[in-house]
Amino acid sequence: MMATTMVPVVLAGGSGSRLWPLSRTQYPKQFLPLCSDGDSQHSMLQQTLLRLQGLPVAPPLLICNEDHRFIAAEQLRAIDQLGPILLEPAGRNTAPALALAAMQSMPQHDPLLLVLAADHRIAAPQAFREAVTAAMPLAEQGKLVTFGVVPDRPHCGYGYIRQGQAIEGGFHVDAFVEKPNQQEAQRLIDAGDCLWNSGMFLFRASRYLAELKRHRPDIATVCRQAMANTSADLDFIRVDQDSFAQCPSESIDYAVMEHTDDAVVVPLQAGWSDVGAWSALWDCHNKDAAGNSINADVLLHEVSDCLIHSKHRLIAGLGVSDLIIVDTADALLVANRHRSEEVKHLVEQLKGLQRTELDNHRKVYRPWGNYDSIDNGARYQVKRITVKPGARLSVQMHHHRAEHWVVVSGTAKVTNGEHTFLVTENQSTYIPIGTVHSLENPGMVPLELIEVQSGSYLGEDDIIRLEDNYGRAES
């Protein structure tokens, strides 16, 4: 008998706005190494996949949006976990996303789909793997398994699952309970039969599609139309944008799990957190004797129960407690730890003011490397650019700015108008306004250069791409 194939389906489309300023729209929390648990090198997405080692899983299927596709692909490639990356044209919640994943995976002998979020912390990976192993026979029997976290306290930020009749490996689901108030949360904990809803699932692809067609045929129909016209681009699979735009937005809980007769829950006790706010990070980090979670160069006196994060400068604190202090290159957050969920209100203000700090860090990552905007003024901007070995920027031109490139280390292959030539350390070249140009790193080490832009308009949308290795649309 052929062994069951299990495909990890990783949902990586969130924005992580409550963890601003570290998490930004263009580089959200799932791509950051926020919860190390002894692993400070890997992002939350990478840790999500690495903790599956030892389970019988196929290459993962990642679902993300267009803006994050190159970050996601690079992080998967770095841990040798590259599989198909399905690009959602628009966010429509989890029920449609998983329908796309199920349809994409059906040619693979109708596998089990292990549905995971890219931004969850699990402190005890072995316990998690044991729960997945316990759930596999249930999924093979046609059950739709959800994983319920054994609660250690009342929590108003999570939905709950009430356990019903016991079944080998888990329990039938008696009911899903909406996020409660504090009094109701305490009552649910006291009842002893409720688990936190983790948002992780295991089911056979065909079973999910059958239940979705039964309970939400409108979603199933639109998703099938969208998947009928996919296109492949490098590592990415694009679904039909016009079709998917018509899809209703709905969670898998509302669309399927609350209506199916085959919902079961497997208890999970593995140090789980959805890392939804800075207070959750304080909860899961190691702390000093005064209760401080510190990831910074600090000088403290009578400081307690604070979270302090900085990579850029010394943080000095005196006589404070219960604060969140997060320092980045272009923004500083100081917040009451007990109100850290309310960071979303600051994010809304940033959005209303159209501040760039909402979307990008000072260092911006691109498929070819990154750039750091180190200085700017009324008619100039200075960037430190790093190009990966073998990578090439698009062939492009600008209507409003000229550029001066100075190579700091490595070797640049430059196309400047009709001429192509090498520029090495301590050499430079000048790109006049309107000149077609490109930059390539032909060497074996990263290319680093300083770019000085000058002109009447220096926005990133003044880039006319004429040729691009990465399939990006013309800006």
pLDDT at residue 1, rounded to an integer? 35
Residues 364-376 have a mean pLDDT of: 93
State pLDDT tens for residues 110-119. 999 999 999 9
Residues 6+ apart with CB under 8 A from 339: none
The pairing of beta strand 401-409 with beta strand 428-431: antiparallel
Under DSSP, the state recorded for 246 is: T
Q: Is residue 401 within a helix (H) or strand (E), and if so which, with residue range?
A: strand 401-409
pLDDT in the model for residue 198: 96
Q: What is the pLDDT of residue 325?
A: 98
Encode pLDDT of 379-403 as tens digits. 999 999 999 999 999 999 999 999 9
Task: Write 219-222 long-range contacts (CB < 8 A, 24+).
Answer: 219/95, 219/96, 219/99, 219/247, 219/248, 219/250, 219/255, 220/99, 222/96, 222/246, 222/247, 222/248
Higher pLDDT, 319 or 1: 319
Contact between 390 and 467 under an 8 Å Cβ cutoff? The reply is no
Q: Strand pairing partners for 334?
A: 325
Hey, is 199 helix, strand or coil?
strand
Residue 48's φ and ψ, nearest 5 degrees, are: -55, -40
Q: What one-letter code names the amino acid at 352?
A: G
Local structure of 337: helix, strand or coil = helix
Q: How far is C-alpha 171 from the chain's CA centre?
A: 31
**Of 8, 10, 7, 6, which is closest to residue 72 (Cα–Cα)?**
10
The continuous run of DSSP H or E covering 301 comes out as strand 298-301
- Can you tell me the mean pLDDT for 106-135? 94
Q: How many angstroms separate the CA atoms of 102 and 207, rounded? A: 9
Of 36-50, 114-128, 249-263, 385-399, give the lowest mean pLDDT range. Answer: 36-50
Tens digits of per-residue pLDDT, 70-82?
A: 999 999 999 999 8
Please report, for residues 244, 345, 375, the alpha-carbon distance to residue 372 in angstroms, rounded to integers and kept in the order given: 36, 27, 9
Strand partners, 372: 363, 384
Confidence of residue 3 (pLDDT cuts 50, 70, 90): low
Residue 2 has pLDDT above 60, yes or no: no
pLDDT of 415-458, one tens digit each? 999 999 999 999 999 999 999 999 999 999 999 999 999 999 99
Calculate mean pLDDT across residues 254-283: 95
Give me the residue spans of the domains in the chain: 6-273, 278-352, 363-467
Q: What is the residue-averaged pLDDT of the chain?
A: 94
User: Rounded mean pLDDT of 237-264?
Assistant: 95
How far, in whole angstroms, is CA 210 from its chain's centroid? 29
- The structural architecture, per CATH, of the domain 363-467 is Sandwich (2.60)
Fold that domain 6-273 belongs to in CATH: Spore Coat Polysaccharide Biosynthesis Protein SpsA; Chain A (3.90.550)
Residue 36: the pLDDT is 63
Would the CA dihedral through 22, 25, 29, 30 be positive or negative?
negative
How many residues comprise the chain?
A: 475
Please give the C-alpha separations between residue 83 and each of 8, 80, 113, in angstroms, as whole numbers: 10, 9, 14
Average pLDDT over residues 169-175: 95
Quick one: average pLDDT of 40-62? Answer: 94
Torsion angle of alpha carbons 453, 456, 458, 460, nearest 10°? Answer: -130
C-alpha span between 140 and 122 (Å, rounded): 25
Give me the percent of the chain exceeding a pLDDT of 70.
Answer: 97
Distance CA 357, CA 331 (A): 7
- Write the CA distances from 365 to 19, 46, 96, 368, 463, integer angstroms: 19, 17, 29, 8, 16
pLDDT tier, 165 (very low <50, low <70, confident <90, very high otherwise): very high
Largest CA distance in the chain: 76
Q: What are the helix (H) ranges across 120-162?
A: 125-140
Q: What does the pLDDT read at residue 419?
A: 97
Residue reference for tokens 């770095």: 78
Closest by Cα among 22, 10, 9 to 325: 22
Instruction: Give every strand in the sheet of 464-467, ordered side by side.
Output: 419-423, 412-416, 437-440, 395-397, 464-467
